[in-house]
Chains A and B, each alone.
Chain A
Amino acid sequence: MAITDLSPATGVAEPARAAMPPGIGTAVTRIDAEEKVTGRAVYSGDVRLPRMLHGAVVRSPHACARVLHVDTSRAARVPGVRAVVTGADTAKVKWGAFRPDLYPMAIDYVRYVGDEVAAVAAVDIETARRAAALIEVEYEPLPAVLSLDEALAEGAPLVHEDAPGNIAHEFGYDRGGADAWFERSDVIVEGTWQTIRQWHGALETIGCTAEWTQDRVTLWVNSQTPFLARQRYATALGLPLRSVRVVLTELGGGFGGKSGDDNTSVICAILARRAGRPVQLLDTREEEFLASRPRIPMRYRVRLGFTADGLVTAKDIDMVADNGAYTGKAQAVLGAATVRHDALFKYRAVRARSRLVYTNLEPTGAFRGFGNPSADWAVGQAWDLAAQRLGIQMPELLLRNAVESGDVSPHNHRIGSCELKQCIQRATRAIGWYEKRADPKPNRGLAMGVSVHVSGRRSFGDYDGSSAIVRLTEDGRAAVIIGEGEVGTGSRTTFAQIAAAQLGIPVADVSVTRPDTDLTTHALGTLASRVTYVAGNAVQRAAEAACQQLLDAAARQLNRPAAELWVEDGHVRAPASDEDDVAVKVPVGTVVRAELYRQGGEPIVGLGSFDNPSEFPDQSRFGNESGAYNFVAEAAEVEVDPATGAVTVLELAAAVDCGTVLNPPLAEGQVEGAVAQGLGMALTERFAWAGGAPTRPNFDDYKLPTAGSMPPLRVEFADSYEPTGPFGAKGVGEIALDPVPAIIASAVADAVGVRIHELPITAEKVFWGIRAAAGRRDDEGER
């Protein structure tokens, strides 16, 4: 089968759609389903090694303090304890994805409640925890900055000496002359919106099992990014890269939270080296809430300008983001949260100033959406205000301004396949927008929002590629050897589908390895909605290369020109050459075996590689981040109880453009799960805080959505095809989360006239908003 043209999309070229081969676009059963429903899948905490110990970590109770003394002697005397370590036992090297500012364990200072100070390994978890509690740490508490405003105040204490003003990173731009365009605008809306920390809440916490052999450590981890994590862990451990091997376990959910920016694996390795035995270290749920890398709180001041007929002119944002005490991925998130939104609409001018601010709070980082849900929370609501002011129905306003295929954003985002307008129309119909507008009901509100996401993003240097090996076996099967992992989305199943379709063999005959930095090709991992698009392309190319070798071998074996041969349903086939001949039908395995068992025999192994046709953005974030953009339009209807302020989401419609839908139930699952996380962010997910930390860091205070809280969802996919994608596919993992909080807030505003500016949208805030509005009406009545 011929591979589709994979050259970068340029202009508005009509996509050349190949006919879909068997197994593409169908509900192929997940290849890992059986091991997951039987409990046999091996997650991070299920790894069992001979003589394995268990670890526990001592964490700072202070938001900011000097560490005066750590006494480990009592802990070390507890029977069953095999190792006790502190910052003194580390290489004392700072590490981090973009701005190295984190020690594996505290050196002199702690900077947030949860900062790692010491750790213990013992024969069982209870002993390790008991011993950890006996480590005595003497602190000198110091003034802490516990909010964005405190951190930005004149003369505020510095979280890090080398970050004046507590600014970890900042950038800005003015493209197209924003002031001039605001002057020419008929309507200007503005406002300030704030998001808060949202935790990934993966049901499986972060964990690692470490074992040393001589000078080399193997880490079995539940990481989304095994190769990038390996590099960072080596740095943190003060080791050369060759001394660290990372092997992926099953992942019990990630959502950005398992991207290797935390200290758990590093401490696990240090404990195992000291103990001379394997060590397993798993975050407790409380530790996950205190010391993982939740979503970055962002405060946006937004201004939007429009002409009287509803064409957008200019956008201006001033954003500050709460980095917490250490940086991780927040610097990259800041970029996406600032520029990405500008690829949605035909802005004439955009201006931004964004600052990442250190605080003495839990470090923040990557979370599904990568800043876009916060951008949408602010900018999406500003668009809703504009629709009100302009007197234009939201679907119509969005349609007037939506980008189209061939458009180029102010940041040089080159829009290839784009069915945003189709998505808006589908969402409008699915929610029954105009029918509901024609028949309004008291205390009910309607809102719509849109978003854009990447399919892979060039951010870890000038490479956003992937590669894969497809090995054909002598029993006619294919093994896909790839370093890209499975976070739960079904990527291994997708790879199997793509390889099977490209090769012409059944999906059941394809296996997909798990990442192991010793064995598989380099991979950036499950982030930025990149796996289907970037790694899928690599798998397709590897399968194509293997298929070509197979056909060449068969051509020699059968004495037929390769061009006459093809593979179908696990057999190499050729038509009868003349009336006396019979059609060729040879099992793939027979050809592979015959290619091996001969003088000078060779295996059939295809290598495929794909680099995202994108640009590495410059310091001002100018550059085409991704080779393909995916889009969503979502609409929600809510009902507000005016007596309590309680918000009920009555229904939510999501129409997604992710190119070809390779496996409908898997793609739907991405949309449904993302919407659920968006609803949690919108309505319930928050902690009670005191002294710079959640007071009760577990699920009894932090409420995830449950089955009973979910509204009916109407999920649709646009008829779409991405010419650079594998069988026309783009990313779909994150997009559907992005607009949810904003549209719930706008629907509440539509229902009862109360605009919520800070997440989450609680009944209490809505109730007091209704009361305040009633008070204003009374005042006006008296006047």
Chain B
Amino acid sequence: MAAAQRSTPVGFTLNGEDMQVHVRDPAAPLLDVLRHDLGLTGTKSGCAIGYCGACTVLVDGEAVPACLQMVGLLEGRTVRTIEDLAGPDGLDPVQRAFVAKAGLQCGFCTPGHIMALRALLDQDPDPGEERIRAVVDGNYCRCTGYVKILDAAREAVALLNAGAAEAQEAQKAQGAD
């Protein structure tokens, strides 16, 4: 690597794991650290000025553009990226909704859209049409004309609530035993 320079350690939780990175510049964007230092390339760079939403990640549950998030300000905080969504049980309901409703074409904006909707659903599991639209409105897509992304967003709400209802039923059934 380049000539040895002083580096700053920053400790945060990334996708459920405690993480310490050493950065030369604490003002470096989280996006570059994710993509270049940590090899997490699922978060995309579209404009680098916080406008397009392609790099959306969750910081303490809030959807933020990783291109504007200074890594030095992450000490003690929690970051979640697209790589953390699918688990051993398969895709996250938001991801399943995008697959089911053909809510993607080139797929480059898709991780950002999914993370933005994930943040919404974490905060409000049953958002109305207006809130869904407001969130999708914050992320660019150049392929789809947004019709099927909005379909996917509505489907994600339906899947999430169906899943929650199922879990409730299961709990009830267990309680009855």
Contact = CB atoms under 8 A, between A and B. Distances in A.
Interface of A: 27, 29-30, 32-43, 45-46, 48, 79-80, 122-127, 200-204, 250-255, 284-285, 487-490, 665-666, 668-669, 672-677, 698-700, 704-708, 710, 713
Contacts of B110: 36-37
A706 B140 contact: yes
From A37, A80, A123, A124, name the one whose CB has the most chain B CB atoms within 10 angstroms. A37
B143 A673 contact: yes
Given A80-B2, A285-B49, A672-B148, A203 B106 contact: yes
Interface in B56-94: 81-83, 85-86, 91
Given A30-B102, A34-B91, A37-B99, A252 B107 contact: yes
A513 to B, nearest CB: 18
Given A124-B1, A203-B108, A669-B144, 4 more contacts: A46-B41, A79-B3, A285-B46, A672-B148
Interface string B127-167: 00000011011101111111111100000000000000000
18 contacts: A34-B91, A37-B95, A37-B114, A38-B95, A123-B2, A201-B140, A202-B108, A250-B106, A254-B106, A487-B106, A488-B106, A673-B105, A673-B145, A700-B49, A706-B138, A706-B146, A707-B149, A708-B134
Contacts of A36: 104, 107, 110
Interface in B100-118: 100-102, 104-111, 114
Contact of A45 (B28, B41, B136): B41
Identify the 7 closest CB pairs spanning chains A and B, nearest first.
A39-B42, A488-B106, A36-B107, A252-B108, A80-B2, A672-B145, A676-B145
A125 B32 contact: yes
Interface in B28-52: 28, 32, 35-36, 39-49, 51-52
B119 interface: no
A252 B44 contact: yes
B98 interface: yes
A30 B152 CA distance: 14
Contacts of B3: 79-80
A285 B49 CA distance: 9
Where chain A touches its partner, the secondary structure class is loop
B146 A677 contact: no
Contacts of A39: 40-43, 81-83, 111
Given A669-B105, A677-B142, A124 B44 contact: no
Contacts of A673: 105, 142-145
Given A34-B99, A37-B104, A203 B52 contact: yes
Given A39-B111, A672-B147, A123 B1 contact: yes
Nearest to A37: B95
A704 B140 contact: yes
From B49, B95, B106, B140, name the one whose CB has the most chain A CB atoms within 10 angstroms. B106
A37 B91 contact: yes
Nearest to B137: A708
Contact of A251 (B28, B41, B49, B106): B106
A38 B85 contact: yes
Given A37-B95, A675-B145, A704-B140, A45 B106 contact: no
B146 A676 contact: yes
A622 to B, nearest CB: 36
Where chain B touches its partner, the secondary structure class is loop
Interface of B: 1-3, 25, 28, 32, 35-36, 39-49, 51-52, 54, 81-83, 85-86, 91, 95, 98-102, 104-111, 114, 133-134, 136-138, 140-150
Contacts of B46: 203-204, 285, 699
A203 B49 contact: no
A708 B114 contact: no
A254 B106 CA distance: 9
B147 A253 contact: no
Nearest to A712: B147
A708 B86 CA distance: 29
A126 B145 CA distance: 34
Contact of B150 (A45, A123, A252, A707): A707
A115 B33 CA distance: 30
B98 A43 contact: no
Contacts of A200: 142
B107 A707 contact: no
A710 B147 contact: yes
Contacts of B99: 29-30, 33-34, 37
B1 A203 contact: no
A254 B143 CA distance: 9
B44 A203 contact: yes
From B3, B81, B149, name the one whose CB has the most chain A CB atoms within 10 angstroms. B3
B106 A706 contact: no
B145 A710 contact: yes
Nearest to A253: B106
A699 B99 CA distance: 28
From A36, A200, A251, name the one whose CB has the most chain B CB atoms within 10 angstroms. A36
B39 A707 contact: no
B7 to A, nearest CB: 13
B92 to A, nearest CB: 8
A122 B51 CA distance: 28
Nearest to A252: B108
B147 to A, nearest CB: 5
Nearest to B83: A39
Contact of B109 (A79, A203, A674): A203
Contacts of A677: 142
A287 B109 CA distance: 19
A39 B45 CA distance: 12
A758 B104 CA distance: 33
A34 B86 CA distance: 10
Contacts of A253: 105-106, 108, 142-143
Contact of A38 (B91, B108, B136, B141): B91
B45 A45 contact: yes
A307 B41 CA distance: 62
A202 B106 contact: yes
Contact of A669 (B2, B82, B143): B143
Nearest to A79: B3
A574 B36 CA distance: 57
A250 B106 CA distance: 8
B83 A203 contact: no
Nearest to B105: A488
Contacts of A698: 47, 49, 51
Contacts of A699: 46-47, 49, 51-52, 140
Nearest to A696: B49
A255 B142 contact: yes
From A48, A255, A285, name the one whose CB has the most chain B CB atoms within 10 angstroms. A285
Contacts of A204: 44, 46, 106, 108
B107 A32 contact: yes
Contacts of B2: 79-80, 122-124, 127
A37 B142 contact: no
Contact of A202 (B42, B101, B142, B150): B142
A41 B106 CA distance: 10
A587 to B, nearest CB: 28
B105 A41 contact: no
A489 B106 CA distance: 7
A488 B39 CA distance: 24
Nearest to B108: A252
A447 B46 CA distance: 35
